[in-house]
Amino acid sequence: MKWLSILLGTLIVSSPLYAQNFDQKRAAMVQNQLRQRGIVQTNVLEAFQKVERHLFVPAAYTSMAYSDGPLPIGYGQTISQPYIVAYMTQLVNPKPNGKVLEIGTGSGYQAAILAEIVEKVYTIEIIPELGKSATDRLKELGYQNIEVITADGYHGLEEQAPFDAIVVTAAAEHIPPSLIQQLKEGGKMIIPVGSPFLVQTLMLVEKKAKKVTTKSLMPVRFVPFTRSQEK
Amino acid sequence: MIAFQLVLMQLISAVQWSYFAYMVISIALLGYGASGTLLAMIRSWIEKHGNKLLSPLMTISGLAMLGILWFSSVIFKRFDTYLIFVDTTHIVYLIIVCVSFFMPFFLGALAIGIIYINYVSRIGFLYFADLFGSGVGGIVLLALLWVCFPSQLPAVIAMLPLIAGMLIVPKKWFRILVFPSLILLLIPVYLVCVPIQLPVSEFKSISKTLNLPESEIYLERKSPYGHIQLVRSPVLRYAPGLSLSFEGEVPVVDMLFCNGNWVGPIIGLSQFDTTHFLDFTTHAMSYRISTPENVLILEGGTALFAGYALWKGSGNIVLVEENKEITDLLKNELASQSDSLLVHPYVRAVNLHARHFLLTDTNQYDLIILPEIESFGGTSGVNALKEQYVFTTDALADCWERLSGNGMIEVTAWLDYPARNPLRILASLVEMLEEKGVTSIESHLVALRSWGTISFLLKKTPFTQEEVFALHEFCSQMYFDAVLLPHTQVNDIEVFNHLEDTTFASSVRQIISAQREEFYAAYDFNIRPVRDMRPYFSQFLKLNRLHKLRDTLGNTNLPFFEVGYFIVLLTFIVVVVIAIVLIVLPLFFIRWQGHGKLFTLLYFSGIGIGFMFVEVVLIQQFILYFGHPVFAASAVLIALLLSSGIGSLRSSVLIKSYGQLWKLLSLIFLIVLLYAIILMPLLRITISLSFVWKILFSIVLIFPLAFFMGMPFPIGLRLLSEHNKVMIPWAWGINGCFSVISTVLAAIIAVEAGYFWVMLAACIAYSLAVAAVLIGRLVRV
C-alpha cells in the first residue's frame, strides 16, 4: 500500500499537467505577491520565476507551496512567505559577482534564490537533519554555486569572509559580532525579527566607514506597512 | 473537576500555545452548561432513573479524563496551535480537541446535576459539599505538584471519580461490579507510573532549543511554581540587544525553562575578566555614570543582572524573584554554574511578588532595575492577559520613594512596531515624575536606544553635565542613539539606528510635553499609563480604533498585531454563542410559554456572574497582599469556597421565606460595592502586618462576603423545587454557562477598565438577581 501511494505520488508529480500547474501558480505568485507589492529588481523577479518552490516544501504542503504565507518544514522551522524572501533579497541588492553568506539554510529556498543571482552562496544550517535534506535537495536541483555547511552559524565562515551580503534567517536576541566583522565594507546584512506566523520586522545592517548602522523597517506581513497608508 | 481543570490548563499551556489552552479549557467547561441542557430535556426520566446513572457516569467521567489524555497524545502529533494561521486543517483539529476535552466535564457535571435534581431538599448540604470538594481539590493539587510531574496528575485525579463511582454502586450490583471496578482503577495507577507524555509543539521555545546539536535536559524540578528544565548545548548564548560595536566573545550558557517557556540563562562571573557583555547593552548606562552600592532587582529571574551588579562592584544587591524554585536551584544544584552568586554575602534573594515587595520594603537603593518589558522581536500581544504590576504608575512611585539621594530607576523595553510598550512605560515614568512634583522631566529622565532595545534611566536628582557627557560618549562608542538626553540635537536622534517609522521620536517628544493627553487620544494604540487597579497588560488595542487600524494594516493582518487579545475576544464570542445555544435549547423541551423563565434566567445568571467576578478580583488583590501568587491564589480560593459552603449550609436556617431573598441579595450587592471601594485601601494599610495577622485579617474580610454569596444558589434551587421543579436543570445549566462566560468577561473588563470595574460589574450582576426576585415571577408558578 505504501509503495503504491509513493508510485502514484511520483506519477502525479512527474506528469506534465502537474508541472504546468505549478508553473502557472509560480507565475501568479511572482505577479500578485511580488511585482504588485513593490518587488521591482528584475534579477530577483527572474529568480523567483525560476526556482520551483514546491520542491522545497514538505510533501504535505506541496499544494500550498505558492500560497501567500510561511509553511512549516519541521524542527520548529519554516520556509518564509515568498514576499518576505523577495523583500529580503531585494534589500541586500545582490550583484552577479557577489558572495553571500546565509545563516539558517532551512529548506534551502532562500539560498537557491540567491544562487540564481550571485556567483557564490555559502549557507550554514545548525540542525543536522535540515542541513542534510537541504544539501541533497540543492544537489539534486543542480546548484553548483551553493555550499551547505552543517554547523553553528554563530561564528560565520571566517575562511570565506568578507561577504557582500549576509542573510540571517534565524534571528536571535543579539547579532553575533563575528558576522558584523565578516561583512565587507559597504556590505549589507538583513535579519527578520519576530514570529514568522505573526508579525515580522526586517532589520537592515550596513557597514560603512568602519561604522555599523541599522535600519528597522516597518512590520512585514504580506506587505510592508507604511505610515502613509494611514492617510 | 477543579483540580482536573487546573492541571489540564498547565499541561496544555506547557506543550502548546497558552492562549489556545485558555480557549480549549473555557469551551470544555461549558460541559457544565451542556449537562444542565440535557437534564432539562430528560428531566422526568432523570427523576425516576437518574440515580442508577450516577455510578456509571462517575466511572465514565474518570475514564474520559484518561481517554482525553491519550487522545491528546495522539492528536497533538498532528495538531499544532501555532499552525492555525498557516493551515486551516488545524482549525478542524482545534474543534476536535475542544469537543474531546468537553466530555469529562460534561459527564462529571451530569452526575452533579442529577444529584441536585433528585436530592434538592438537601441542596444546602450538597452545595456545601460541592464547594468544599472544589476547595480541597485545589489544596490536593497544590500538594501533588510538589511530588508529581504534571503529566502524572490527570491519572491521579481520575482515580477520584473512579473510586466515587465504585462507592455508589447499588448494593445488589456491588459484588458483581467491585472486581471490574478495581481492575479499572489499575489503569490510572499504571498511568501514574508510566505517564502519557503529550508531544510538545515544535514551535515552543524548549523544542527549538532541544533541536540544537548536543542539547540535552540535564536537570528537572517539579513544584507548584511550574515544571523547571535546565538545558545545555554548546551553541547556546545570550546577550540581549548587544551593541554592534562588541567584538568579544559571548559565552556559552545553560538555559532555564519553566513549563516549556524560556526563563533565562545561567551565567557565572568567572566567565568574564575585563569585559562583561552587558557593558555593551543599553542596560549598562547606569553603571557608566556611577557605581551604585545598593541595588534592587525586581523579577530577577536567573540572576543575570544581579551577577552584573556584583561584577560592577555593588556591595548590597537584593534580588526579588517570586519563583522560589529558581532561586533554590541557583543556591544549590546550579551554584557551580552561577559561581555561587545567590549565596554571595553581597547578594540577598527574596521570594516575593515584586509589587508586594515594593509595598512592604523600607530600604533605600541607589539603583532599582525593573524587569525587561516584552521580548526580542515583540510578541504581537501574546502576553495580553499577563498582568504586570511593577510597571504601574503606583509601582513606579513606590520605586521613587525607595531611591536614595542620587538613586536611579532603570527599565528596558524591547522595541516593537508600531511602538506601544516603550511609549507606555515612558508615559508612566513621566506621569509619575509629575505626580512627585518634578517639573523639569528632561533633566531627570534619559533614554537610549540600540538596534533592538530602549532603556530609560530616571534619576532622583537632575543628571549632571558630566553624566550627560558620559552618556553621549557611551552612545557613540556603542552605536546607540540618544532618544532623550540633554544636548541632543534633533538630527542626532537617529545616528546609528534608523527607524523607517519616523514618528517614534516625535511620539516621545509629545509624551514628555504638556500636550500628552492629546497625543494619547490621537495615537492609534492605547499607551496611557496604568494603575494598580488596572495593571499593565500587554494589550494596546483601542476597540474604537479597529476600523482605522484595519484600514492601515488590512483586515487579515490586524489580529496578528495583538493576537493574544484577539484570541481572548474570540474565546468570549465562541463561549457566548455556545452558551446561548445551550440555554435556549432546553426551552424547546420545557414549554416556551410559562412562568419562572425570566426569574430563572436573571437569577442564576446574575449570581453565577457575580460570584466569579468577585472571585477573580479577590484572588488578584490577595496575591499582592501576601506576595506569593501560587499560595495566595490557593488560600483565597479555599477561604472563599469554604466560607461560601458554610453559607450554603446555613442558608435554609437563615433565609426561610421568599421575601427575605431580595434582602439577602441586596446585602451582597452592598458588601460587594463596599469592597470595591475599601478593599484595596484596607489591604494597603495592613500589608505590613505579620503573616499570622494578615491571615486572620483576610479571613475576616473574605468570610462575611463569601458566607452570604454561598446562599443564593441553594436557596434559588430550593425555591424552584417548591414552586417550579421543571426549571431546576435549566437553572443548573444557566449557572454553569454564565460561570464560564464570566471568567472570560472578567479578563476583558480587567484589561479594558480595571479590577474596580470588575467589582462594579459584580454589583450589576447581583442587582440582576435582585431584579429577578422583585419581578416576583416565581411566586406565581
- Mean pLDDT value across chain B: 87
- Mean pLDDT value across chain A: 85
pLDDT for B40 beyond 80:
yes
Helix (H, G, I), strand (E, B) or coil at B210: helix
Do the domain assignments include residue B570? no
Question: What percentage of chain B carries pLDDT values higher than 90?
Answer: 42
Radius of gyration of chain A (CA): 18
Q: How far apart are CA B15 and CA B483, in angstroms?
A: 40
pLDDT of residue B401: 96
CA distance B502 to chain A (A): 9
Do the domain assignments include residue A227? no
Q: Where are the alpha helices (DSSP H) in B655-727?
A: 658-685, 691-709, 712-723
Chain B contact for A79 (CB, 8 A cutoff): no
pLDDT band of residue B781 (cuts 50, 70, 90) is very low
pLDDT for B591 beyond 90:
no
Do the domain assignments include residue B652? yes
Do the domain assignments include residue B549? no
| B265, B350: one domain | yes
Phi and psi at B182, nearest 5°, equal: -65, -35
Do the domain assignments include residue A29? yes
| B249, B317: one domain | no
Residue with cell 534564490: A113
Query: Which residues of chain A make contact with B200, given a CB cutoff of 8 A?
Result: none
Query: Which residues of chain B make contact with A199, given a CB cutoff of 8 A?
Result: 378, 380, 557, 560-561
Q: Which long-range contacts (CB under 8 A, 24 or more apart) does B514-517 make?
A: B516/B427, B516/B430
Q: How far apart are CA B148 and CA A2, in angstroms?
A: 42
Chain B contact for A222 (CB, 8 A cutoff): yes
Q: What angle is formed at CA B691 by the lines to CA B687 and CA B697, rounded to 5 degrees? A: 65
| B503, B631: one domain | no
Residue-number span of the structural domain to which B161 is assigned: 1-200
Chain B contact for A230 (CB, 8 A cutoff): yes
Q: How far apart are CA A132 and CA A125, in angstroms?
A: 9
Orientation angle between helical segments B18-29 and B89-118, nearest 10 degrees? 40
Do the domain assignments include residue A228? no
**Chain B residue with Cα closest to A77:** B203
Q: Choose the closest CB to A214 out of B202, B496, B561.
A: B496
The active-site residue out of A5, A15, A67, A80 is A80
pLDDT for B117 beyond 80:
yes
Q: How far apart are CA B445 and CA B411, in angstroms?
A: 11
Do the domain assignments include residue B564? no
Q: What is the pLDDT of residues B631-685, one digit of tens each?
A: 787 788 888 889 999 999 888 777 777 778 888 999 999 999 999 999 989 998 8
Do the domain assignments include residue B69? yes
Residues 119-158 of A with CB under 8 A from B: 126-128, 152, 154
**Chain B residue with Cα closest to A81:** B86
Domain termination residue (choose one: B230, B258, B286): B258
Q: What is the pLDDT of residues B161-208, one digit of tens each?
A: 999 888 888 777 777 777 888 888 899 999 989 998 888 888 888 888
The answer to whether the Cβ–Cβ distance between B85 and A69 falls below 8 Å is: yes
Q: Choose the closest CB to A197 out of B82, B375, B479.
A: B82
Do the domain assignments include residue A15? yes
| B364, B504: one domain | yes
| B167, B302: one domain | no
| B154, B252: one domain | no
Residue-number span of the structural domain to which A84 is assigned: 2-222
Residues facing residue B317 across a β-bridge:
B295, B347
The answer to whether the Cβ–Cβ distance between B213 and A201 falls below 8 Å is: no
Q: Say whether A107 is catalytic.
A: no
pLDDT for B272 beyond 60:
yes
Do the domain assignments include residue B352? yes
Residues facing residue B456 across a β-bridge:
B411, B447
- Domain of residue A30, CATH code: 3.40.50.150
Do the domain assignments include residue B330? yes
Strands A183-194 and A200-208: antiparallel
CA distance A197 to chain B (A): 6
- Domain of residue B285, CATH code: 3.40.50.150
Q: How far apart are CA B364 and CA B400, in angstroms?
A: 10
Grid coordinates of B354? 515584586
| B537, B612: one domain | no
pTM of the model: 0.87
| B27, B74: one domain | yes
| B380, B243: one domain | no
pLDDT band of residue A20 (cuts 50, 70, 90) is low
| B269, B254: one domain | no
| B674, B739: one domain | yes
Residues 38-57 of A with CB under 8 A from B: none
Q: How far apart are CA B410 and CA A70, in angstroms?
A: 38
Q: What is the DSSP string of B86-149?
A: T-THHHHHHHHHHHHHHHHHHHHHHHHHHHHHHTGGGHHHHHHHHHHHHHHHHHHHHHHHHHS-
Q: What mean pLDDT is predicted for residues B199-223?
A: 89
Do the domain assignments include residue A205? yes
Q: Which residues in B415-487 belong to E strands, given as ranges?
A: 445-449, 453-459, 481-484
| B79, B217: one domain | no
pLDDT for B329 beyond 90:
yes
* Number of domains chain B is built from: 4
* Number of domains chain A is built from: 1
The answer to whether the Cβ–Cβ distance between B242 and A152 falls below 8 Å is: no
CA distance A175 to chain B (A): 7
Do the domain assignments include residue B553? no
Strands B453-459 and B445-449: antiparallel
pLDDT for A230 beyond 50:
no
pLDDT for B779 beyond 50:
no
Residues 6+ apart with CB under 8 A from B543: B752
A-B C-beta contacts closer than 8 Å: 149
Q: What is the pLDDT of residues A102-120, one digit of tens each?
A: 999 999 999 999 999 999 9
Query: Which residues of chain A make contact with B203, given a CB cutoff of 8 A?
Result: 76, 197
